[in-house]
Chain A
Amino acid sequence: MISFTETFQNKTKLISRRMFFLSGLKVAVFISIITRLFYLQISENIKYRSLSDNNRFREWKIVPQRGIIEDYFGQKIADNTQTFQLHMIPEDVPNMESLFFRLSKIIDFNERKKKKIIKRIKKRKPWEPIIISDNLSWSEFSRLNLFLHEIQGVKPVVALSRKYFSDGSSSHIIGYVSDASVKDLENNELIREINIPGLKTGKNGLEKSFNNLMIGTPGIQRFEVNAYGKRIKELELVKGISGKNFRTTIDHEVQKLASGLLKEKSASVCVMDIYTGDVVSLVSSPTFDPNKFVHGINQKDWDDLLKNEMKPLINKPLAGLYPPGSTIKPIVALSALENDVMSTKKIVQCKGKIELYGQTYHCWKEKGHGFMNMRSGIKQSCDVYFYEVARRLGIDRLSVTSKNFGLGKKVLNSFYEEKSGVVPNTKWKIKNIGTGWVLGETLISGIGQGYFQTTPIQLCLMMAQLANGGYEIKPRIIDDKLAVQPMVDKWREEFYFKKNNLDLDSGLVKLYRNKENVKFVLDALFGATNEPLGTSYRSRLTQPGYIYAGKTGTSQIRTITEEERKLKLKNIDLPYKKRDHALFIAFAPYKNPRYSISVVVEHGGAGSSGAAPIAKKVLKKVLERQKLREKYQPNLFEEV
């Protein structure tokens, strides 16, 4: 028993000894665990906290509301409207193929769209929403909502998208928006920065020019997401700032009327306030429906637009280049008077043509006008008279006056597509053509043919700057609330009623030397419209307050051969492409004028029959709305 007890005690001691040793080990291990905890939770806490936040939060940008474009009266020409969209978050979709199959049964979803979307999925992160369809019809949208429980990973969304007047009367001014292209991303830093699915970018017109201002600032939606990327709750919503709104000087009613008048024609109308430079109307025809571009135009519509020989996509008032034809005659006459190369009383006999160095220069009136002075030369648009004026004046002096009055340079700075045109002179020809100027070219320049290239808005500006008494104006299409209205009355008074030739103390730039020369030209234009034998006599308005004065123009787009001349071919008998362009410029009302207009109808025949009747109707509308327009003026100044 003793041995057993001894053994037992020995064993107890051994066990306890070893346990003591083991306990020391345990303490050491626990200390190392505590050290590890200390390291992770205290030393490295900041690092792990930020890692945890990276796990937790995910941000989505929200497309801001695009700025609205209004006309002068607050009519929204480019607005935003509710659209029904279908978004998909790829990582939430359990089976892409079956989703596409289901969708094809519910909405308009074909193989082509499927391929496009698969391509897009590859480019984006799996949690970024992809827009499957951005313009669902109401019936598609409601059907989708009905079957929503069967299709995972997609979300019907009510969003805002661009909406334009579908009559297209202002399509060319406003332009249109569409998805950003690779080129847009390359050229525009802002778009690169906020490239959110669904963001539209301006492609043309004002939408392009003011794109960066109209886009606005995107909102941010911050979500807490779980390990599978599912949004758990919205933590923060930073509201986006909607883009800047723009009010234009355009009158939508005039646009509608003018657009209607130009239907089926390749033409443009341009109306301008001769004092403020406000562009009241700027219509290009034929037009297109800009809404088609918003959600991606289909191939057929696109081909139709491209193949149309009337070129609907070109903004003709700004980018169409035409020889001014006879519409330049007021400037030619003014230039001659200002440079004292001719008196208004100078008589020239028109026999229908003149000869110069063996070359024959025809008047449009084959029989000739007979004896013409400068007033009747303008009134009846006698070419022979102006060959003589131009011969005496010379191209360089003519080009100075033309440029002064607005030809040969861009009128509005708000458009990428605007062209500056050509006002030729001797230097220009050497530089651009490489040969010296010849006299014959001076003669045809005197009737606005040859190298002259003008845009309709330049002609309108030229008319405006003549009609306002010969002062420089700065045309504008964006109503930036800095109109010069209070000056207008004073201005008119100075020019029309005071005899002395005093400058206005307003810092206005005077374009003339002698006021009487401008008055003479305006009076001659009155004759052209309101007196028998005047070229636009048939299109005159007789109602008091509506009487206007204008100049027709018919610009040849090719040289008329002798045989054709003998055949006495009328424009209407010629193939469309060979017909002359019809032009007309005017200002109204004659007494106390306010507006200038230019109408250009491509291949429209003679200005008197092709363009003047349109101008007459548009002017009538503009004058009818003048009171209304003036009523809006004071608002401008209150808001400043």
Chain B
Amino acid sequence: MATNFFSKKNLSVIDKILSFDYFLVFLVLLLGIISLFAMYSSEQGVFSYHTKSHLYRFSVFFLFFIIISLFKIEYLLRSAYFFYIIILLLLIGVELYGITASGSKRWISLFFINLQPSELMKIALIIFLARYYYKIPSQNVNNIKYIILPFISFLIPVYLVAVQPDLGTAVLIAITGLIVIWLSGFRIKYFLYSSLVLICLIPVGISFLKPYQKSRILTFFNPERDPLGAGYQIIQSKIAVGSGGILGKGFLQGSQSYLDYLPEKHTDFIFTLFSEEFGFFGSLFLLLIYALIIYRITKIGSESRNNFARLYCFGFASAFFVYVAVNMSMVLGLLPIVGAPLPIMSYGGSSMLSIMIGLGIVMSCKIHNNEQLG
């Protein structure tokens, strides 16, 4: 039975491995290596806990990526709802039994690992929606009958994540959900209507925000409002990036991160650290890798002969893009600080796991791109 997951009548494991998108694999490995160097620098040039842990995680989850690639796409399609429900249950579990750290309840202990289900939900939602929409004709998408379930499917996790509270991830989940729904044919004017409603609801929403969330948003509009408090991170991050210059200060020479002026330098602000040390050209290079990854995923999607793969790849590529864009904009002072990791670069197991699972599914789509799913 188990071998059945990996092989189809006409595709052996060897065949599958040969039909990998090796450029994508290369890009992911390259990104992984860069992330290790950045992590090493964030620990001031000592091969210490975060770097080691990041290395283990990258190695293990990269293996996940390869293994999932070998799964039959049909199997993935069939287990999509199941996967979504498992993650949803975990999210509910967080609400009930979660671990609280620095004021928010985001983690659940699974005996051997502390998991952040909200990160996995990012992928689960895409795969769920892709599964839901791939067979629905586009003219039916706007039928009220087919609207209710997808919206419920993404509003529940968004709510659960928002109350943790983790506004950043909630927004990211919402955005990726909306993108997939829109891609599958949802009419643009409905989005306009609903965004109008949303704008009207903003004042109500603000009253639900925690004080620190409010202050973050206010700080975004004026970082100097509270330079030692909420504005500190963004000011120091801009100083770090700006002082990097064209070629950067050099590997392990980033004074802002080395001297602890940079907050969260191994997680959300890893790009700041990288940018300080490698400058404008280094940042462009990193951005190029991300752009190429997104491009390869999109390409795999468009070459796929079934709509599930297509929707999934487009959805994942967009989600990947959103993570990168939100994180970079955030550390460059273009968006408020919301707490969004940079894929693969940032320290964090759940985020890495979710990206690797996502990439694995993409690769499976690539390998099985000729299959038409009934």
A residues near B (Cβ < 8 Å) are: 7-8, 10-12, 14-16, 18-19, 22-23, 26, 29-30, 32-34, 36-38, 40-42, 44-45, 47-49, 51-53, 55-56, 224-228, 232
A139 CB, nearest partner CB in chain B, Å: 39
Q: Is the pair A11, B255 in contact by a Cβ cutoff of 8 Å?
A: no
Interface positions of B from 249 to 266, Cβ below 8 Å from A: 255-256, 258-261
29 residue pairs from A and B, CB less than 8 Å apart = A8-B307, A11-B184, A14-B185, A15-B311, A15-B314, A18-B185, A22-B183, A22-B318, A26-B294, A30-B287, A33-B332, A34-B284, A37-B241, A37-B280, A40-B238, A41-B242, A41-B275, A41-B280, A42-B245, A47-B242, A52-B239, A52-B240, A52-B242, A52-B256, A53-B243, A226-B260, A226-B261, A227-B236, A227-B259
Cβ of B30 within 8 Å of any chain A Cβ, yes or no, is: no
| Bound form: Cα–Cα A323–B305 in Å | 123
Please indicate the chain B residues that have their CB under 8 angstroms from the CB of A14 in the complex.
138, 184-185
Assuming the A-B contacts A52-B255, A226-B260, are A44 and B242 also in contact, with contact meaning beta carbons closer than 8 angstroms in the complex?
A: yes
B298 at the interface (CB under 8 A from A): yes
B12 contacts the other chain (CB 8 A): no
Asked if B118 is an interface residue, CB under 8 A from chain A, the answer is no
Complex Cα–Cα for A328 and B328 (A): 94
The residue among A11, A34, A41, A227 with the most chain B CB atoms within 10 A of its own CB is A41
Q: Could you tell me the distance in whole angstroms from the C-beta of A320 to the nearest C-beta in chain B?
A: 60
Contact present for A15 and B184 (CB under 8 Å): yes
* Given A10-B137, A11-B307, A224:B259 Cβ within 8 A: yes
Given A23-B298, A30-B291, A55-B259, A41–B244 Cβ distance below 8 Å? yes
Nearest-Cβ distance from residue B35 to partner chain A, whole angstroms: 19
Which residues on the A side are within 8 Å of B255 (C-beta)? 52, 55-56, 224
Please measure, in the bound complex, the distance between the C-alpha atom of A33 and the C-alpha atom of B310, giving whole angstroms. 27
With contacts A10-B138, A11-B307, A30-B325 known, is A41 near B259, CB below 8 A? no
Question: Which 7 A-B pairs have CB atoms at the shortest separation, nearest pair first?
Answer: A48-B242, A52-B243, A226-B259, A7-B137, A227-B260, A41-B280, A40-B242
Give Cα distance in the complex from A56 to B138, angstroms.
59
Q: How near does chain B come to A13, taking the closest CB pair, in angstroms?
A: 9
Q: Which of B138, B238, B291 makes the CB contact (< 8 A) with A11? A: B138
Is chain A's interface secondary structure helix, strand, loop, or mixed overall? Answer: helix
A106 to chain B, nearest CB (A): 32
Smallest CB separation, B273 vs chain A (Å)? 13
| A30-B291, A48-B241 given; A232·B259 CB < 8 A | yes
Q: Could you say which residues of chain A place their CB within 8 Å of the CB of B284?
A: 34, 37
Q: Does B64 contact A (CB under 8 A)?
A: no
Q: Does B246 contact A (CB under 8 A)?
A: yes
Contact residues, B285-338 vs A (CB, 8 A): 287, 291, 294, 298, 301-302, 307, 310-311, 314, 318, 321, 325, 328-329, 332-334
Report which of B246, B261, B302, B328 forms a contact with A33, defined as CB distance below 8 A.
B328
Question: Do B280 and A56 touch across chains, with their CB atoms under 8 A apart?
Answer: no
Q: How far is the CA of A47 from the CA of B245 in the complex (A)?
A: 11
By a CB distance below 8 angstroms, the chain B residues around A7 are 137-139
Q: Say whether B169 faces chain A, with CB atoms less than 8 Å apart.
A: no
CA distance A16 to B258 in the complex (A): 46
- Determine whether the beta carbon of A19 is less than 8 Å from that of B183: yes
From A16, A44, A232, contact of B302 by CB (8 A): A16
CB of B279 closer than 8 Å to a CB of A: yes
B310: nearest residue on chain A (CB-CB)?
Answer: A15
Give the distance to chain A from B313, nearest Cβ to Cβ, in Å.
9
Q: How far is the CA of A286 from the CA of B15 in the complex (A)?
A: 108
A51 and B243: CB pair below 8 A? yes
Contacting pair A49 B242 (CB below 8 A): yes
Contact B287 A41 (CB under 8 A): no
Contacts of A26 in B (CB 8 A): 294, 318, 321, 325
Note all chain A residues with C-beta closer than 8 A to B291. 30
Known: A56-B255, A226-B261, A227-B259. A36 touches B307 (CB 8 A): no
Whose C-beta in chain B lies nearest to the C-beta of A50?
B243
Q: Does B283 contact A (CB under 8 A)?
A: yes
Known: A26-B294, A41-B283, A227-B260. A33 touches B325 (CB 8 A): yes
Complex Cα spacing A36 to B137, Å: 41
Given contacts A36-B334, A55-B259, A232-B259, contact A45 B310 (CB under 8 A): no
Question: Is B179 located at the chain interface by the 8 A CB criterion?
Answer: yes
In the complex, chain B residues whose CB is within 8 Å of the CB of A226? 258-261
* Nearest CB of chain A from residue B282's CB, rounded to whole Å: 10
A22 surroundings in chain B (CB, below 8 A): 179, 183, 314, 318
B182 contacts chain A at the CB level, 8 A cutoff: yes
State the CA gap A47–B302 with chains docked (Å).
45
Query: How many Å lie between the Cα of A15 and that of B313 in the bound state?
Result: 11
Q: For A18, A34, A37, A226, which residue has the most chain B Cβ atoms within 10 angstroms? A: A37
Q: How far is the CB of B186 from chain A (nearest CB, A)?
A: 10
Cβ–Cβ < 8 Å partners of A12 in chain B: 307, 310
Other-chain residue from B240, B314, B328, B332 in contact with A19 (beta carbon distance below 8 A): B314
Given A16-B310, A40-B242, A53-B243; 15 other pairs, CB 8 A cutoff: A15-B184, A22-B314, A26-B318, A33-B325, A34-B287, A37-B332, A41-B246, A41-B280, A45-B243, A49-B243, A52-B239, A55-B239, A56-B255, A225-B259, A227-B259
Closest to B186 in A: A18
Q: How far is the CA of A18 from the CA of B284 in the complex (A)?
A: 27
A10-B137, A32-B334, A33-B287 as given contacts; A40 in contact with B241, CB under 8 Å: yes
Among residues of A, the one whose C-beta sits closest to the C-beta of B288 is A30
Query: Which chain B positions have C-beta within 8 A of A16?
Result: 302, 310
| Beta-carbon nearest neighbor of B235 in chain A | A51
Query: Given A30, A48, A227, which contacts B243 in the complex, CB threshold below 8 Å?
Result: A48
In the complex the two chains form, is A51's CB within 8 Å of B138's CB? Answer: no
* Given A18-B182, A19-B314, A225-B259, CB of A41 within 8 Å of CB of B245: yes
What is the minimal beta-carbon distance from A541 to any residue of chain B, in angstroms? 76
In the docked arrangement, what's the CA distance between A336 and B214, Å?
Answer: 100
Contact A37–B137 (Cβ < 8 Å): no
List of A residues within 8 angstroms of B260 by Cβ: 226-228
B-chain residues with CB within 8 Å of residue A11 when the two chains form the complex: 137-138, 184-185, 307
Which residues of A have CB within 8 Å of B311?
A: 15
Shortest C-beta distance, B16 to chain A (Å), equals: 24
